[in-house]
Chains A and B, each alone.
Chain A
């Protein structure tokens, strides 16, 4: 018995499987996971190449904020998609991350790399403070309370001295390593990287990559299964030995940390933050991105985030009509894909095959048991029928 599963000495041991299972296929076109991996690699390559095609300040700025949206949505996906906790004040954690890193670097004067762990810590604390009293509530009540907390954070930031009041914090420094900072830029292989925006773009890619892979891995492990169990049936999850309170608060903390890191990214990227960036509208937009893409589905949520952040920009030609068109698009998408653009239960179309559902009685015929001799009469009677 290996040590990875701890069981009491007297405890029940699982019988070993009776049948050998074939290994799951792992090819790009033969499995869902293989295909998603290939898609991810392609997306990263595409993102890395983009600055060499169009490095204008506008494109880079849009792309960076899209990456920040993706990070935020991955965090909210943990809370809403995996753990099923409707959070209407998610932007609060984004604000905590942005303000903590902003205050630490401007008022306190720490370098950015020192502010990062402090930001993460502050987000964990914020997650516990907001989560601990509210997570006993279910569904609608939780949504209302989180909505309140989101507003509390924004109004607090609006009224405190240290957060700069309504005008916010300006001049947030960039990452600095010794004498060299991101603002200086550098030349590599004859290519110039002059603008700091390009750097934020690349930092953004790395952060989002870590965020997406990390959230995905957590979702597939023990913790992720606990989250999904809580989402599907809280009582049944509790009956399975999962402390649902701890599972929920962990989801909350992970979501808070993801948002906090995104907040820091935004604070350094824009170098200025103000309470206006943390309105309820943004909580709703991020939630919409998650629902639109498909709750609990990594590719879906990324698509949703890109849609929500890029669509208003791409529709700029329609000037004042753009938000109307944006809204109509959303309604149309939800009408035709109610489970989201790429639902978590989606199977690639070419992998769909009709498997015959085994007859309900096939099971017990397959596993004869020595202790059930007295039942054999009935069993044989059934077989001859």
Chain B
């Protein structure tokens, strides 16, 4: 069977900035994959392309047999109407559709529904799977009541699964940060995903909470859900991930098991940097070296070395 998620040669360009530059990786069902890289390496941009929020410049993303990147016919391209059409939902796959196919995600900064209760937050995620007609809602038919009851039960099931023990009727803003993270994962799980994208789930958590999070991610994997996570906490990643993809400057620079990644010189270089050649003092004084270009110049050489 082919992989659950296949990303090949994904490119995303914002003007002159190449946020994602030819990224390719696959995710098998039921595995835990970590995506790491220095700040600004394009991890979140890649996530946004995969989950349908950003429209990649080129490349393909196939999730569970569904193509997430759609090509607009060249006639619209030549008429420069592609952006307009895409803003109306043509020639693109909306994130909601991707979610219905079975890909759920969390956000780097918590993005819970602030004016909804904890329970309603999780119930909201069942939108696509919930059958409630308009008239049934207006008339409160027995079918509607049953659907609501079942929806609430499942939401509570997910809240219990992630270990949320607080009051489900509180507004999410009344919860401590760690609990909000938990609710966000419960909400993502409530969409009944096959693949869960976690964008920095451990950010801002203390040691205990990180341990709990690792347990939770393993239990999610045991349900048969593939987990892809972006993380900066190396300890957590080395312990948790089965495979690691390392990004830098929008490019994949290494893939492998935690052991392999730990000892990869390219990765170490990307994180710690290499020593630049010392700058000639005389050139500085005479003004032949443009200081503002120093950084980007050295970056360029590094990138060329790698590729």
Residues of A at under 8 Å CB distance from B?
Answer: 2-8, 10-19, 21, 136, 214, 217-218, 221-223, 225-226, 228-229, 231-233, 235-245, 296, 344-345, 355, 357-358, 360-364, 366-367, 369, 371-372, 375, 378-379, 382
Say if the beta carbon of B287 comes within 8 Å of chain A: no
Say if the beta carbon of B55 comes within 8 Å of chain A: no
User: Are A345 and B99 in contact, CB atoms less than 8 angstroms apart?
Assistant: no
User: Are A363 and B164 in contact, CB atoms less than 8 angstroms apart?
Assistant: yes
Report the stretch among B123-131, B244-252, B275-283 that lies at the interface.
B123-131
Q: Which of A11, A228, A245 contacts B116 (CB 8 A)?
A: A228
Some 23 contacts from A to B, beta carbons below 8 A apart, are A4-B146, A8-B192, A12-B224, A14-B192, A15-B161, A18-B160, A19-B156, A217-B140, A221-B132, A222-B132, A222-B147, A225-B123, A226-B124, A235-B53, A237-B124, A239-B53, A241-B99, A242-B128, A363-B182, A366-B165, A372-B218, A375-B211, A375-B214
Contacts of B153 in A (CB 8 A): 14, 16-17
**Also in contact, A372 and B219, with CB within 8 A (given A16-B153, A360-B179):** yes
Q: Which of A18, A222, A357 contacts B130 (CB 8 A)?
A: A222
User: Are B167 and A5 in contact, CB atoms less than 8 angstroms apart?
Assistant: no
Residues of B at under 8 Å CB distance from A?
Answer: 51, 53, 87-89, 94-97, 99-100, 102, 104-105, 107, 111-116, 120, 123-132, 134, 137-138, 140, 143-144, 146-148, 150-151, 153-168, 170-171, 174-179, 182, 187, 189-194, 206, 208-209, 211-212, 214-216, 218-219, 222-225
Q: Which of B51, B100, B115, B222 contacts A232 (CB 8 A)?
A: B115
User: Are B143 and A382 in contact, CB atoms less than 8 angstroms apart?
Assistant: no
User: Are A238 and B94 in contact, CB atoms less than 8 angstroms apart?
Assistant: yes
User: Are A233 and B111 in contact, CB atoms less than 8 angstroms apart?
Assistant: yes
User: Are A5 and B123 in contact, CB atoms less than 8 angstroms apart?
Assistant: no
Query: Measured between alpha carbons, how far is A221 from B104 in the docked complex, in Å?
Result: 22
Query: Measured between alpha carbons, how far is A226 from B87 in the docked complex, in Å?
Result: 20
Contacts of A13 in B (CB 8 A): 192
Which residue of chain A has the shortest Cβ distance to B184 in the bound complex?
A236
Q: Which of A7, A19, A240, A372 contacts B124 (CB 8 A)?
A: A240
Contacts of A229 in B (CB 8 A): 113, 116, 124, 127
Which residue of chain A has the shortest Cβ distance to B145 in the bound complex?
A4
Query: Measured between alpha carbons, how far is A10 from B126 in the docked complex, in Å?
Result: 16
User: Are A358 and B96 in contact, CB atoms less than 8 angstroms apart?
Assistant: no
User: Are B214 and A3 in contact, CB atoms less than 8 angstroms apart?
Assistant: no
Query: Measured between alpha carbons, how far is A344 from B164 in the docked complex, in Å?
Result: 25
User: Are B132 and A378 in contact, CB atoms less than 8 angstroms apart?
Assistant: no
**Also in contact, A364 and B211, with CB within 8 A (given A14-B154, A223-B137, A241-B191):** yes
